[in-house]
């Protein structure tokens, strides 16, 4: 007989901060909430800065979840029932220890443990076309905040009055100020239909005291926001005809909310993934790290100035993300007590 979910414990291993962003902790917080809704006891092993930890604590909800630094405890025999790993940092010791103890282990958003981990999950629609018995990927595995999933159908982009600039919770490349300045100079020429939109920029908490950035944004006509609560972000997105965003979790949140996006990558390695996403009808690749000139962004902005494209992109993104329920699916999988490659459906293909 399968034990009840409340008898299980899930250990989540994650990290975040100014250097690597906050997407990993944001995703994990959603999975933690979904697992706790099943009655599971959950603990987190965390590495990162105070801002990421605070986001994790808020996202996991009440009562507080036990959050330990990496290395403060091992994986005890018989506990936990499953481990979820979502971090770009080196975690071989943690994964190998869990598997050696016979603890089912799911690795999120990386492929280097594909042959070893119990399962690997790519919570994206733009993953590589790989078929493997231990791999799950595709839109159904995308992890979105509950507030985003609950949002109603978006208005026609032509009826919206705002443009959004958001380079993620960290903006490691410091693109926000230069992009705002460039957009202010080029909107009227490249996309006149967007030039009259009210301009909003979300900047990381760590940059709110940056006077030069504040001045650049205000001079470019942008209203400046610090990190927004999820309801506030959903409310602002509902007004946005288009967004210029970093290539991270916001990419999928905006798509589900029906906001066409121009994707600026923080790492040159993400360019191919952004182009795969564009091929699926979700936004436009708009350059970023490694690009020597503004041409990709200029081409993207010119396309975004077409009202017909905006309507198609809004519908396409919303449709592509319609099955996104990754947090619930992952929680159910991790707590099923039958976590083996043979018990799941065939892998999705992005």
Q: Where are the domains of the chain?
A: 5-143+324-343, 148-320
Average model confidence (pLDDT) across the chain: 88
Average pLDDT over residues 213-226: 95
Please check the confidence at residue 204 and state whether its pLDDT lies above 90.
no
pLDDT recorded at residue 4:
40
Inform me whether the pLDDT recorded for 11 exceeds 50.
yes
CB burial readout 76-108, b (16+ within 10 A) else e: eeeebbbbbbbbeeebeebbeebbebebbbbbb
> Looking at residues 230-259, what average pLDDT do you find?
93
Position 21 scores a pLDDT of 83
Distance, CA of 177 to CA of 12 (rounded, Å): 35
Res. 5: pLDDT tops 90: no
pLDDT given for residue 301 in this prediction: 94
Is the separation of the CB atoms in 28 and 52 below 8 Å? no
| Residue 20: band (very low, low, confident or very high) from pLDDT cuts 50, 70, 90 | confident
Give the model confidence (pLDDT) of 111-155 as tens digits. Answer: 999 999 999 999 998 888 888 999 999 999 999 999 999 998 888
Mean pLDDT value across residues 211-219: 94
Looking at residue 339, the DSSP 8-state letter turns out to be -
pLDDT tens digits for range 152-176: 888 899 999 999 999 887 787 788 9
| Model confidence pLDDT, tens digit, residues 23-73 | 899 999 999 999 999 899 999 999 999 989 999 999 999 999 999 998 766
- Mean pLDDT calculated for residue range 292-318: 90
pLDDT value at residue 340:
55
| pLDDT at position 80 | 86
Residue 15 has what pLDDT?
95
CA nearest neighbour of 134 among 117, 146, 156: 117
CA 345 – CA 341 distance, rounded (Å) = 9
What pTM was estimated for this model as a whole?
Answer: 0.86
**DSSP H/E element including 228:** none
CATH number of the 5-143+324-343 domain: 3.40.50.2000
Mean pLDDT over residues 201-215, rounded?
89
Say what the pLDDT of residue 338 is: 59
CATH 2.60.40.10 fits 148-320, yes or no: no
Residue 253 has pLDDT above 50, yes or no: yes
DSSP annotation string for 255-272:
HHTT--EEEEESSGGGHH
């Amino acid at each position: 007989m399968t034990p009840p979910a409340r008898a299980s414990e899930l250990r989540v291993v994650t990290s975040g901060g100014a250097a690597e962003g906050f997407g990993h902790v944001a995703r994990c917080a959603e999975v933690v909430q979904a697992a706790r809704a099943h009655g599971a006891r959950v603990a987190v092993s965390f590495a990162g800065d105070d801002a990421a930890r605070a986001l994790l604590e808020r996202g996991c909800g009440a009562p507080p979840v036990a959050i330990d630094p990496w290395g403060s405890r091992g994986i005890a025999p018989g506990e936990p029932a499953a481990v979820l790993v979502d971090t770009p940092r080196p975690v071989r010791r943690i994964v190998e220890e869990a598997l050696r103890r016979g603890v089912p282990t799911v690795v999120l958003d990386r492929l280097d443990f594909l042959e070893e981990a119990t399962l690997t999950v790519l919570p994206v629609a733009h993953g590589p076309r790989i078929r493997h018995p231990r791999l799950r990927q595709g839109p159904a595995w995308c992890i979105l905040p509950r507030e985003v999933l609950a949002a109603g159908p978006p208005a026609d982009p032509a009826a919206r009055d705002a443009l959004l600039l958001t380079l993620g919770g960290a903006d490691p490349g410091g693109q926000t100020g230069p992009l705002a300045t460039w957009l202010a100079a080029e909107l009227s020429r490249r996309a006149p239909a967007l030039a009259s939109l009210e301009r909003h920029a979300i900047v990381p908490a760590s940059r709110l005291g940056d006077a030069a950035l504040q001045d650049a944004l205000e001079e470019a006509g942008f209203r400046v926001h610090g990190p927004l609560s999820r309801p506030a972000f959903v409310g602002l997105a509902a007004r946005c005809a288009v967004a210029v965003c970093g290539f991270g979790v916001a990419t999928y949140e905006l798509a589900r909310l029906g906001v066409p996006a121009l994707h600026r990558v923080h790492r040159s390695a993400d360019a191919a993934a952004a182009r795969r996403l564009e091929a699926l009808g979700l936004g436009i690749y708009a350059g970023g790290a490694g690009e020597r000139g503004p041409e990709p962004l200029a081409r993207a902005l010119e396309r975004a100035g077409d009202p017909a494209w905006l309507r198609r992109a809004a519908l396409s993104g919303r449709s592509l993300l319609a099955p996104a329920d990754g947090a619930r699916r992952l929680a159910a999988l991790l707590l099923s007590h039958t976590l083996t490659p043979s018990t799941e459906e065939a892998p999705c293909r992005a």
